Amino acid sequence: MMRLMREGERLLAISFHAHKELSAFHDPMQEGKLISRETEIRLDPLTGESSRILFDPGAPFMPSDYSEVGISTSGSKCPFCSENVWKATPAYPEQLVNDGKLTNGEAILFPNLFPYAKHNGVVRMTEQHYVPLEQFSEQVIYDSLRTAHTYLQKVIDADHQADHLSINWNYLPPSGGSILHPHLHVLASEKPTNYDQKAIMHSERYYNQFGTSFYADLLDTEKQLQQRWIGRKGSMNWLHAYAPKSHYDFIGLFEHMPAIAQLQEQDWRDLASSILSFFSLFKKIGVASFNMMIILPKKANAAYPAHIRIVPRLTLGALGTSDMNVFTFLHGEYLSLKTPERTAKEAAAFF
């Protein structure tokens, strides 16, 4: 369905398409009663990628406790703990980073020993080895993000071919994090990721067709619809994805739609504060782990501004089953047990 709405003199054109399928069977949990169960297939309004909203059995998510693992993997066994971080991690050449490492508060940035890109910094976020979500401070998150920002600015000043920039956070094992100690991955690459490439292509196509930014129009549309709109914190606007990439999928947009050089101290503080609000939500819904991606355009681009996606990660059932399966990895089809509109209302209470 195409929605056209007028805001002042601007015409917003955002499509929300969905297809519903019904599966009929005799349910043994209801004494063999014949029932129908719905699967809703939604298309991403930018890329057209599909996601499936599945029936939610209502079983609560149960976060794992990593307290004992935190004790057994800390100190001498962790390269990011304070007694090891200066000697066990690599250093940058002096021409890129003075003294080989960047520091800001407890945050320390150094090269990744096993890089994902031409430039891959790792930010050790805090001295504390295992940090439950409720123990993170806004200052620790802010210092870490600012350190990542400083590194990326140094990289793009030194390497004019490093065009694709991002800050990434895998928190705890369900997210793919291989070290318990909180850390960020900061990337600058000559080539885009699949996400970046597809989003850039479709964003530019939208801009050429309508003369406006898809992201600005999406934000205005969701504010008007009030279906997936979550709220605003300072310069940060938050909504839930219409076609989510997992059970939850939160999208953050800066009010001024910036490139990397236009981001200021307050923007990073507003983002850090927003992340803490999501941590409060995660605590309520039984989530301890997540993936976060911050896309940072190198140059001001009306079609493709900086934006954030946060996807909680979890394991399912007594077996600790991964929340991703053949549909996600081979079919490229995202699955969600949670309805975006309901999640957005739940998240709004924390903003």
pLDDT digits (tens, 9 = 90+) for 123-166: 999 999 999 999 999 999 999 999 999 999 999 999 999 999 99
Judgement on whether residues 117 and 29 belong to the same structural domain of the protein: no
Residue 301 within any structural domain of the chain? yes
To which H or E segment does residue 210 belong?
helix 194-210
Judgement on whether residues 48 and 71 belong to the same structural domain of the protein: no
Residue 238 within any structural domain of the chain? yes
Residue 233 within any structural domain of the chain? yes
pLDDT value of position 12:
62
Between strands 33-43 and 289-297, the pairing is: unpaired
Do residues 278 and 171 touch, judged by C-beta distance below 8 A? no
Domains: count for the chain? 2
Judgement on whether residues 14 and 163 belong to the same structural domain of the protein: no
For residue 2, what pLDDT band results from cuts at 50, 70 and 90? very low
Residue 59 within any structural domain of the chain? no
> CA angle at residue 293 from 213 to 276, to 5 degrees?
105
Residue 184 within any structural domain of the chain? yes
Structure tokens at 309: 């996606």
Residue 81 within any structural domain of the chain? yes
In whole numbers, what is the pLDDT of the chain averaged over residues?
94
Q: pLDDT at residue 176 above 50?
A: yes
Judgement on whether residues 99 and 48 belong to the same structural domain of the protein: no
Which residues does 304 contact at the CB level (< 8 Å), separation at least 6?
A: 199, 200, 203, 204, 213, 215, 297
Judgement on whether residues 31 and 120 belong to the same structural domain of the protein: no
Residue 196 within any structural domain of the chain? yes
Judgement on whether residues 256 and 185 belong to the same structural domain of the protein: yes
Do residues 249 and 311 touch, judged by C-beta distance below 8 A? yes
Angle between helices 214-225 and 194-210 (to 10 degrees): 80
To which H or E segment does residue 206 belong?
helix 194-210
Judgement on whether residues 302 and 157 belong to the same structural domain of the protein: yes
DSSP string, 231-274: EEETTEEEEE-SS-SSS--EEEEETT---GGG--HHHHHHHHHH
The distance of Cα 265 from the centroid of its chain, to the nearest Å, equals: 20
Q: pLDDT at residue 180 above 50?
A: yes
Q: Which residues constitute the domain of residue 254? A: 67-348
Residue 61 within any structural domain of the chain? no
Judgement on whether residues 323 and 192 belong to the same structural domain of the protein: yes
Do residues 65 and 50 touch, judged by C-beta distance below 8 A? no
Judgement on whether residues 246 and 308 belong to the same structural domain of the protein: yes
- The CATH number of residue 298's host domain is 3.30.428.10
Sign (positive or negative) of CA dihedral 123, 126, 132, 134: negative
Q: Which residues of 12-33 are buried (b: 16+ CB within 10 A; e: fewer)?
A: bbbebeeeeeeeeeeeeeeeee
Judgement on whether residues 314 and 183 belong to the same structural domain of the protein: yes
Cα 164 from Cα 78, distance rounded (Å): 30
Judgement on whether residues 46 and 187 belong to the same structural domain of the protein: no
pLDDT value of position 69:
95
Judgement on whether residues 21 and 136 belong to the same structural domain of the protein: no
Residue pLDDT, tens place only, 209-231: 999 999 999 999 999 999 999 99
